[in-house]
Structure 1
Amino acid sequence: MDDVTPDPYATPIEFGQRMQILRQRRGMARVVLAGLVDKSPSWVKRVENGQLQTPGLEMILRIAEALRVSDLAELTGRSSMRVDLFTGPGHPRLAAVRDAVNAFPVRGDRPAPAAEHIRARLRHAWSARHSAPNHREVVGALLPGLIEDAQLAVRQADSGAERRAAQAALSEVYSLSQFFLAYQPEPALLWRVAERGIVAAQESEDPHTIGVAAWLTAQAHRDSGPSHFDAADTVTTSTLQYLEPLLPDASDDVRAITGALQFEAGYTAARRGEAGAAWRYWDQAEQTAQTLSADYFHPVTSFSRAVMSAHAVTVAVELRSGTESARQAARAEVSVIPSRPRRARHRIEQARGYQLDGQPDVALATLDQAYEAAPETIRYNGYARKIVLEETEAASPDRRRRACELASKIGLLTA
């Protein structure tokens, strides 16, 4: 049929045609792509029509980021550039976690552990995630047993109260699973876990559990690209409307997940390029953070007073403001964040800010710090991988060497 979108691999087509096909597959208008790569809509049109030659590597990477292309070969057509960007390598524990999710037992031949026992194991798992440099390995080892036992607890609950408690624990297990599955080559499994998590949260009738599941679902929508931004906004807005009336009498955890959702709304606004709304939501989240004690730290979202400066860097970076990104990156304090993966993620956001501000050497040094904090975070982060890959072709020999060394450590160029 003539109206079927062709497969970019089916025939040897040019870069511009591939870019147009991939843009249309995402349902993205030219003007949107142009804004995301800081070009005009007419520039995008001329590239797609072949009136301009293929851009350089830096622009190719920016286009890949905007289109959420996971493999550069899909965009360039060159098998020599078959490098995954936004999907990290499959973790060795992935198969066991996948099997546990897919098993979903209908019956159990043994008594399920009590919900409080599962919660104690969850507290240990979250603590291990925040403290271990190889956090995916640690969490991946714990998840299969947690998934099986939490599912059994729901199946075997005798009363309504027991079932709600078990559903809350199961939803939290699925939340932990999403952190393990993020940026791995299993998007369908990630969505399956997200959907089960939010259903279990609703069955629990627990505000905090519902908020956590909504927070993760909103992230999943936003990371799926611009065509899903409205869905992310719907999730955050509706959940905030549910949670905010509860705040006067709420626990610290409920206030924290409310603040985390307020920031998520700002994050999506920043992705849209809506600076006023992005900073307004950041201000709301900052006000919520100030209602928490100085040493409070939410175990799932990392929401706290300390993390708000890191969130400011993210907003500035997503708004593509180089000067503001670098300013926020320089003033943000990383050492006070009591989580290795969150500190590493913050370092990556700082590196993005420094790169936007034309400071690639500082960006690379910051990524080295991210690697030292949590190697598995930088290994699976698409933005970090993009910066490193770009700098492997830098004009400066010293910067090329440093980028290649980091690329080797994170396994970027072994695909």
Structure 2
Amino acid sequence: MPVDATPDPYTNPLVFGQRMQVLRTRRGMSRPVLGGLLGRSPSWVKQVENGAIHTPSLPMILRIAEVLRVRDLADLTGDQTLPVDLFIGPGHPLLPAVQAAVNAYPLASDRQAPSTAHLRLRLDRAWAARHEARNHREVIGGLLPDLIRDAQLAVRQAEAAADRRAAQAILSEVYSLGQFFVAYQPDSALLWRVAERGMVAAQESEDLHAIGVAAWLTVQAHRDAAHFDAADSVNRTTLEFLEQFLPDASDDVRAVAGALQFEAGYTAARRGTSGTAWSWWKKAHATAQGLPKSYYHPITSFSHAVMSAHAVTVAVELHSGGESVRQAARADADTIPSLPRRSRHRIEEARALQLDGQPDAALAALAKAHECAPETIAYNGYARRIVLEETESKSPGRRRRASELAVKLGTLAA
């Protein structure tokens, strides 16, 4: 390695500060930005990286890992004896079956493909089952292999151009359902294959709704990987394309546009640009106001009900504790029909309370999230971080509650 090359924290025995510097640089994050997100000064970051300040406490390590999107704490600490995956959940028992269906390369079949109307009915039922299930990965993981195979077959056997486009729209949405299953599982390459195939199928379909949904999920995948520029590019391009059709578009297409507007705000908040983040939230809110009050998008959850939950997310990503709690107080989780989305909101509420220095209330919110949808919280890195942080609490009662929840999440052994 050249003497001036950036050291590799995964192969060289670097100390904590050096690892933090390398990972920060790889994320394209400056010291002032990292310090601001951690509530510390740029000089504090520099002193940690230079070794003037030794390894921080576990709570601070967990917060650094969250901001830098470090998936395994060992990548940051260098301690390979206690690997802890933060932003990757456990591999679901049904993951191999879904992997096999996605990775297959079918060329011929003796059976007749189901009609697109039949596939549409199965997909609608799958989305409904996902929202109603406390363990949604268990539900959709059982449905996905056959849906993937049948939708692929429908595309291959379609003869007329219109039939092929309709089948591509179905296939794209099947891949969208697949992303909800694959996300945060230990196969990131599979996630990107599913996302890319969904985008290609959507483009082939020329269906506005399919194009918007595929873009919405791709934006999330890029943002979770800290590819902020890519997330913004996909979002901007898709919104510009959809805008020309919105005056005459269906509620579903307008809802997807609103979901993309919020995602633009979410990415801006992750970047730390407050004005841009709230500006996009307001645009999304205006779009939601233009939809029927009872409307709820079956894939993105975009609706009147979810906008207050989205406001909590923006405030939390901007690391504004007081504003996060104020927004959480305005939100009513019970108005969100989807159990996984309601659980996700409880997690965001917990993040807000933790930021505001209310760890007991944060643990209570996480307990509600677990009661609502156990699989959602088990695969959520933010929830895992808060729980692990509080297992080191000086309060015996809080430490006990956090440890009990950590066992349920699988982050600590029983």
- TM-score tier, shorter chain, comes to over 0.9
Q: Distance in 1 between matches of 2:85 and 2:312?
A: 25
1:94 partnered with 2:67: no
Long gaps (5+) in structure 1: none
Q: Which amino acid aligns with 1:262?
A: Q
Residues 175-324 of structure 1: pairs in structure 2 closer than 5 A = 175-225=176-226, 228-324=227-323
What displacement does 1:27 show?
A: 3.8
Residues 11-160 of structure 1: pairs in structure 2 closer than 5 A = 11-160=12-161
What displacement does 1:28 show?
A: 3.3
What displacement does 1:4 show?
A: 4.9
The 3 A distance-change label for structure 1 pair 21 and 273 is closer
Q: Distance in 2 between matches of 1:43 and 1:317?
A: 22
- Higher mean alpha-carbon deviation, 93-102 vs 44-53, is at 44-53
Q: Distance in 2 between matches of 1:116 and 1:152?
A: 14
Q: Distance in 1 between matches of 2:210 and 2:175?
A: 11
State the secondary structure of the residue aligned to 1:143.
Answer: helix
Aligned residues: 413
1:372 partnered with 2:371: yes
For residues 14-42 of structure 1, give each alpha carbon's deviation from its aligned partner in whole angstroms, at most 9, with x where no partner exists. Answer: 11122122223334333332233232322
The 3 A distance-change label for structure 1 pair 9 and 252 is closer
State the secondary structure of the residue aligned to 1:366.
Answer: helix
What displacement does 1:165 show?
A: 0.2
CA contact (8 A) 1:104 1:151 kept: no
The 3 A distance-change label for structure 1 pair 27 and 275 is closer
CA contact (8 A) 1:104 1:148 kept: no
Q: Distance in 1 between matches of 2:5 and 2:122?
A: 50
Q: Distance in 2 between matches of 1:7 and 1:279?
A: 37
- Same amino acid, percent of matched pairs: 71
Q: Which amino acid aligns with 1:358?
A: G
Q: Which amino acid aligns with 2:275?
A: G
What displacement does 1:395 show?
A: 1.1
Long gaps (5+) in structure 2: none
What displacement does 1:280 show?
A: 1.0
State the secondary structure of the residue aligned to 1:306.
Answer: helix
Q: Which amino acid aligns with 1:237?
A: R
CA contact (8 A) 1:36 1:66 kept: yes
For residues 38-71 of structure 1, give each alpha carbon's deviation from its aligned partner in whole angstroms, at most 9, with x where no partner exists. Answer: 3232222221111111111111011111221111
CA contact (8 A) 1:100 1:144 kept: yes
Once superposed, what is the RMSD of the aligned Cα atoms?
A: 1.4
What displacement does 1:307 show?
A: 0.4
CA contact (8 A) 1:154 1:163 kept: yes
What displacement does 1:124 show?
A: 0.8
1:340 partnered with 2:344: no
1:166 partnered with 2:167: yes
Q: Distance in 2 between matches of 1:40 and 1:158?
A: 63
- Higher mean alpha-carbon deviation, 144-153 vs 107-116, is at 107-116
CA contact (8 A) 1:83 1:413 kept: no
What displacement does 1:190 show?
A: 0.3
Q: Distance in 2 between matches of 1:10 and 1:316?
A: 37
What displacement does 1:400 show?
A: 0.4
CA contact (8 A) 1:31 1:41 kept: yes
Q: Distance in 1 between matches of 2:83 and 2:8?
A: 16
Q: Which amino acid aligns with 1:379?
A: A
What displacement does 1:5 show?
A: 4.2
State the secondary structure of the residue aligned to 1:270.
Answer: helix
State the secondary structure of the residue aligned to 2:305.
Answer: coil
Q: Which amino acid aligns with 1:52?
A: I
Q: Distance in 2 between matches of 1:259 and 1:12?
A: 47
